[in-house]
Amino acid sequence: MKQNKIPVILASASPRRYNLLKQCGLKFSVIPSKIREKTASRNPVSIVKKLSSDKAVSVAKKLEKGIVIGADTIVVLRGSIIGKPRSKKDSKRILSLLNGSYHKVYSGVAVVDAGSGRKKVGCEVSRVKMRKLSLNEIENFSGKHMDKAGAYAVQEKNDAFVERIEGDYFNVVGLPLEKLKKLLRYFGVKLRSKTYKFRPRD
């Protein structure tokens, strides 16, 4: 694969996003954004698009050149935004709410050219069905994913919480790759496609 000449920067410290981009053959560096993840909007699409944009722009402002990628993911259950757990007890509360139900995962992704300030922003939505687990199983899962919205990680081999995904699997992981691929194309950056068919674990 021909490498991109312009530097590419991921404005995120997320190991999940880092690994996904690596697996797509992209050469990039990491400069985590330091912005506070807050917005006045209550609309999920507006929230993730604004925060992903803010993250990318905040890093781009520090650079003379480079293509900066920002991303943000939230979980929405029956109209309520489910954030990252604040404690193991809160993780148990979140998993209990999600248990056996459908929810939506919204991911915003933004690409900014640090040199020109040019920007492209997109959003992806996936619908997720959670398996019905026992109280003991929820207790065992609680506290494992304190840095993840919804307190679970669909890509973890030992997590059997997700039963079904409707939409982009990688969006649920935290980075909608096909959406990002289309946005990067505007800046002359190529991203290799990655496919994965979700199969629920026993």
DSSP 122: E
| Residues labelled as active-site residues | 72
- In the chain, % of residues over pLDDT 90: 58
Question: CATH code for 8-185?
Answer: 3.90.950.10
pLDDT at residue 118 tops 90: yes
Global pTM reads 0.89
- Domain extents for the chain? 8-185
In angstroms, the CA 62 to CA 156 distance is 34
Structure confidence by residue, pLDDT tens digits, 157-174: 556 788 889 999 999 988
Structure confidence by residue, pLDDT tens digits, 23-56: 999 999 999 998 877 766 789 999 999 999 999 9
Three-state secondary structure call for residue 172? helix
- Residue 127 CA: distances (Å) to CA of 117, 119, 163, 185, 196: 33, 27, 11, 26, 16
- In the chain, % of residues over pLDDT 70: 91
pLDDT at residue 191 tops 60: yes
Nearest to 60 by CA among 121, 124, 123: 121
Number of helices and strands in the chain (H, E) = 6, 7
DSSP 89: H
